[in-house]
Amino acid sequence: MSLLITNARIASATSPTLTETDVFLSDGIIRKIGKGLTVPDGTRVIDACGRILLPGMFDAHVHLREPGFEAKETIATGAEAAINGGITGLVMMPNTKPAIDSATVVGQVLDIAKRTARIPVYTSGCVTKDRHGKEMAGIDGMRALGVRMLTDDGDTTGDPAVLMRAMQYATEFGMFFASHCEVPELAGPRALNEGAMSYRLGIKGSPACAEEIIIDRDIRLAHATGAHIHIQHVSSKLGMETIRWWKQRGDVRVTAEVAPHHLLFSDEDIGDYDTHYKMNPPLRTRADNEALLQGLIDGTFDLIATDHAPHTPFEKSQDFVSAPNGITGLDTALVSLHHYFVASGKFGWDLIVKRFSAEPRRLMGLPAVSIEEGQPVDLILFDPDKETTFSKEFMKSKSQNTPFLDQTLKGSVELVVLGESVLLDRA
């Protein structure tokens, strides 16, 4: 495949300035960048005037539900949703059935991904057997198959002594730990944030301190053991400030992520018991939204991750307390980040590339993707002036439990190219 993209504005992680130029791709490699390029006959030409050329995004927190819950999502459908949203690599969470807690299950998952997914799919592994928090999982066997991230995501690793032993053991192998932070006894039904909205709706709320206590606990365990701890889907201002405090100390390796929905929505959006806004950690306040956004801009958060959590329409149609937690994000994340933040000037494309492409890959020990001569092709073309309507027909995820359903936002993923393959073509 030979492709010439002309008049593209290239975004990078290192500069807020977009450079307009031409890019020639051939045989999976970026061959030339510059104006007035000479290319072989038969080369396809795309005039990208006004559009942004970006490295492919990478999502380090995704629930693909296979094995065990294929009615919600499969590895294949999740990968297609990722492509639809400009994401060219992702990491699965291990709360499947059976849980991904051994080399056997890791091997099965990676085999399915190799056969059915058009993008690289990596998997995390459990810290404890079946995520029960009591006994260490088969860590060494999973490591031998390439697992780097250990997490009981969906729940906190309940016994801190078990987590500490796992940190002491696995850190020697270059593995790291990702923490879903929550004291279950405090979190209660996990339905929504404890506050004015929970009182108005008459539903017992989940206080932010249920999350914040475990953020501090797990960072302290990492500090004691020399482990690398990654804090997942932070939702509160104080949780973010706790992470910032530990980072400023400089004697523990801690990274953290924020999800688009915790930047965009608050408990005020729940309205009349809309389960599309029910997730874990729950949506908190507008003040938390603003604090998390500043934490993303100032680097307290290392990366953006969707926490893509699909559920069937039947499940989400239950009453608010009974409905499962979760929001899908693979199809919608990049466009929504553009619509609400880039288009309004709150941050630039350089932050998107750094936090949603480069740093998630580095977290997984992968090289960051860049649009430079000689580099492998892994890129997307984004039109900031077009609009995307997130209809059921448009979205590729098997589930559409998102507040963006049937909403129209500014921005469109027009082209996704990985290696020698054009994975998506609206150009």
Catalytic positions = 307
350 vs 356: CA distance, rounded Å:
10
CA angle 362/419/334 to nearest 5° reads 55
Contacts of 114 (CB under 8 A, 6+ apart): none
Q: Smallest Cα–Cα separation from 233: which of 118, 168, 172, 154?
A: 154
Burial (CB < 10 A; 0-12, 13-18, 19+), residue 169, is middle
- Across the beta sheet with 228-231, the strand order is 149-150, 176-179, 228-231, 253-258, 303-304
Q: What is the DSSP string of 3-49?
A: EEEEEEEE--SS-SPPEEEEEEEETTEEEEESSS----TT-EEEE-T
Structure token pair of residue 221: 């365990």
Structure token pair of residue 425: 């073509």
Q: Smallest Cα–Cα separation from 417: which of 12, 58, 54, 19?
A: 54
Phi, psi angles (nearest 5°) of residue 151: -160, 145
Is the separation of the CB atoms in 359 and 112 below 8 Å? no
Structure token pair of residue 176: 């790291």
Q: How far are the Cα atoms of 268, 389, 403, 412 from residue 408, in angstroms, in the given order?
A: 21, 4, 11, 10
145 vs 122: CA distance, rounded Å:
10
β-partners of residue 283 are none
165 vs 241: CA distance, rounded Å:
27
CA angle 334/240/320 to nearest 5° reads 65
210 vs 187: CA distance, rounded Å:
6
H-type alpha helices, 25-148 = 75-84, 103-116, 139-144
